[in-house]
Structure 1
Amino acid sequence: MLTEERMVRIMDLLHKNSFVSIQDLMKRFQVSRSSIMRDLQELEEQGRILRVRGGASLVDTDVLLSRYNEPAVQFKEDTQKDAKKIICHKAIEEVHDGDCIFIDAGTTPVYLLEGLKHKDVELVTTNTYLLERLPLDFKGHVYLLGGEFSKKYDSSFGSMTTQLLKQFRFDLCFLTANGISVQEDEAYVFDMHIGTIKKEVQMRSRKSILLIDHTKLKTRAFYTWSNLSSFSKVYMDTYPNNERMPENFKICKEIEND
């Protein structure tokens, strides 16, 4: 069976069942796990599905993410990669030498690093995934906040992290969300403890930036941690043409090659 045909059949199954597991797809199509993972990654890049732990759901289904089905960081590294690059390429223009900035957990902020490496800033983060990719020629200073650590999400959190945050004030913070609702003016995250960190950071920042790709418009998660209207700017790659876009939303154009 050709890859294209298999992907069509995966979409048929999703329309019937709303969720498919990787194990079921492997048995059904008699192919390896890596083949199914490549199919699901391609479908997600097309914006047609959302990969969750153990399988996939339709993007236009009400998906409620929690700590039980949120994928680990390594499974999200290449998800919406081009969109993340476009968003971060524009958002990094907010940063100036001398700023004290906070960068959130997750894979999206990693794409800030290319534009950040020549900035002389004070960088505070809980994100070890980001620090592993920090360029050797980064000019600024780095403060990694401790606390309870999750290897699955490559980030620290909890009461100790919150107390450490209270010692900082930020010129600017870059935050992420698992999903949003424009209608309800809400930003979501899969775990309330992670959400508490995000709330504390936003409260202690002079300017707050939310970085999200278009797939987050269709996703709901366990915990509401902020209102979209409270952000200075919300950077996205695309937005539905038939829907009214909030004034603080900024759509990023494709990166022009030199």
Structure 2
Amino acid sequence: MFAKERLNKIIDMLHNEGKVVVKELSEMFNVSEDAIRKDLKYLENEGLLERIYGGAILKKQIPQYIRVEERIKHNIEAKKKIADKAFSLLKDGETIFLDISSINMILAEKIAKSQLGITVISNSIDILHILCRNSNIQIISPGGILYQNVGGFVGSAAIEAISKYTVQKAFIGSCGVDVINKSVNTFNVEDGNTKKAIIKSGKEVILVMENEKFYFDGVYKFADLEDIDTIITDKEPSKTIKDKLEKYKIKII
């Protein structure tokens, strides 16, 4: 195996397991432990990992803020897969909340094309516009101050309105989850505080996010993992992450 292939394999292992051990890598690739240490040093210099005693852990990435209408173009197949899973959970007669999220926009498209008779509350202007196409859907907007850079209604007025509702399922987006610190994160403080209110309104709180978000940090923590009932993602998380989520009794779909 060439050195570049070995480096790529180490990166894959870090994404799957979150951690690698020098001795185990040495045996796996049939190279010296010194060679593995050089590999890890190179990857550390590239900003991809953090070396620890005896091995390395994945270095959390800081996501760039991108407007929701642009985010929807990124990882589109993964997001469609998540939206399909979320849609399969919906039942006639339910009231749900869809917060400001590119995955929820795709879910809204599926709802708008369906025969479901449900009530949807959303603080996303894009989602409200999408759902207007289907007269079977009762649409509720909490209103408040429109934050154009966020793509919806967030802040104290929206929070006060949201607090008056109870929904069967609240679908929440996130820019990053840290299973070690038990934190669920977003970019914007007002958006984060609004997500807190949405979580309180939900009988079942469902996080919709790509698997890669387990390896991203956010700016503002809006929830603990204990606040989440279910996580819908595009592929099965690593065993390390699954074990942590099961500890917090979170269902993984």
TM-score (norm 2): 0.70
In structure 2, distance between residues paired with 1:205 and 1:240: 25
| Alpha carbons 1:236, 1:249 under 8 Å: kept | no
In structure 2, distance between residues paired with 1:193 and 1:101: 21
Q: Which residue of 2 aligns with 1:125?
A: 122
Q: Which residue of 1 aligns with 2:66?
A: 71
> Against the structure 1 CA distance between its residues 106 and 244, is the aligned structure 2 distance closer, same or farther, given a 3 Å change threshold?
closer
Q: CA deviation at 1:194?
A: 0.9
Q: Which residue type is aligned with residue 143 of structure 1?
A: I
CA deviation digits over 1:40-94, x for unaligned, max 9? xxxxxxxxxxxxxxxxxxxx653345xxx51112321211111111111011222
Q: Which residue of 2 aligns with 1:88?
A: 83
Does residue 216 of the first structure (1) align with residue 189 of the second (2)?
no
Q: Which residue type is aligned with residue 192 of structure 2?
A: G
Q: Which residue of 2 aligns with 1:116?
A: 111
Q: Which residue of 2 aligns with 1:162?
A: 159
In structure 2, distance between residues paired with 1:137 and 1:84: 22
Pairs within 5 Å for 1:1-258: 61-64=59-62, 69-117=64-112, 118-134=115-131, 136-245=133-242, 246-247=245-246, 248-251=250-253
CA deviation digits over 1:171-201, x for unaligned, max 9? 1110011100122221101122111111111
In structure 2, distance between residues paired with 1:158 and 1:91: 26
> Against the structure 1 CA distance between its residues 229 and 16, is the aligned structure 2 distance closer, same or farther, given a 3 Å change threshold?
same
> Against the structure 1 CA distance between its residues 102 and 240, is the aligned structure 2 distance closer, same or farther, given a 3 Å change threshold?
closer
Q: Which residue type is aligned with residue 205 of structure 1?
A: G
| Alpha carbons 1:119, 1:138 under 8 Å: kept | no
Q: CA deviation at 1:111?
A: 1.6
Q: Which residue type is aligned with residue 104 of structure 2?
A: P
In structure 1, distance between residues paired with 2:220 and 2:173: 13
Q: CA deviation at 1:239?
A: 3.5
> Superposition RMSD on alpha carbons, in Å?
2.3
In structure 2, distance between residues paired with 1:250 and 1:138: 32
1:120 aligned counterpart, secondary structure: coil
2:88 aligned counterpart, secondary structure: helix
Q: CA deviation at 1:131?
A: 2.3
> Against the structure 1 CA distance between its residues 131 and 195, is the aligned structure 2 distance closer, same or farther, given a 3 Å change threshold?
same
Q: Which residue type is aligned with residue 112 of structure 1?
A: L
In structure 1, distance between residues paired with 2:109 and 2:188: 29
Q: Which residue type is aligned with residue 94 of structure 2?
A: D
- Which structure has greater helix proportion? 2
In structure 2, distance between residues paired with 1:90 and 1:230: 21
Q: CA deviation at 1:207?
A: 0.9
Larger radius of gyration: 2
Percent of matched pairs sharing the same residue: 19
Q: Which residue of 1 aligns with 2:10?
A: none
